[in-house]
Amino acid sequence: MRNPDYTRNIALCLRYEGTAYHGWQVQKDQATVCGTLQNAIRGVVGHPVSVTGCGRTDAGVHARLYVANFRTSSAIPADRLPYALNTHLPLDIVVTAACDVPEEFNAIGSCRRKEYTYCIYNSRLRDPFYINRAWLYPKPLNEQIMQQAALAYQGTHDFAALRSVGTNVRSTVRTVYDCQVWREAERVYFRVSANGFLYNMVRAMVGTAVYASEGKLSAREIGALLERGDRCAAGPTAPPGGLYMTRLWYTGEVERFGEGFRAAVGGFDGA
């Protein structure tokens, strides 16, 4: 039950390297991003808080951008909160912006679109700087074929074939707005934005695009695979370390929020 004395609703933008955490969501016996952030906020504002995040990133997944909100009775100015919180946070979590937001703002409920980017390090030799931050894939990948697979994901589809059994959802239908694959030297990037994602959906999309590159299925088969809902015919779930949350879109009202918050989020309806 919400404490009526907590009259302020604060939105935070943050970044984190997720290797050390068992995902975002608080768990009783595991270190999580949310649990770590809640402890830091409590140390600053002087009372327990419940933090709402924009999505449940899995264990080992990273965020170049993440939005969360919490309610408080503290009078600390919002523009001072990032500095205060970062002194209480480990080095792999950083709050980049904070602002007061309307009572109705909810980090996940107000979010209209999300983007993830997956990084594959496509080389026979590993790079120590990409350990836990990319999928080391030693076989040659054809990014043009992977792009053909990516285009097959675009549109509104039932993505039951590209998810792992985990959380219960009302519907497995999602709309993918854009999906692109490109190469930068040894790095192959897979970027996708949608109105929502199923459990492990992006990682399964990546694994299936890799299957297409290897000739284990054709890009033309992906539409039929989605229609059948056949998880066994799709590619593997790519490892978590290559996945990053990279952009979020919120309702137009967010444009009125603090400049630091707007600059950090970078996406609104119609963008």
How far is it, in rounded angstroms, from Cα 69 to Cα 135? 31
Residue indicated by tokens 């026979």: 124
Residue 160 DSSP label:
G
> Is residue 69 helix, strand or coil?
strand
How far is it, in rounded angstroms, from Cα 62 to Cα 14? 11
By residue count, the chain amounts to: 271
Provide the 10 A C-beta neighbour count for residue 180. 15
Do residues 33 and 21 touch, judged by C-beta distance below 8 A? yes
Phi, psi of 175 (to 5 degrees): -110, 120
Amino acid at the residue 242: G
Amino acid at the residue 29: D
| DSSP states along 61-74 | -EEEEEEEEEEE--
Residue 268 DSSP label:
B
Residues with a known catalytic role: 58
Residue indicated by tokens 């996945």: 243
Strands 243-250, 111-121: pairing kind? antiparallel
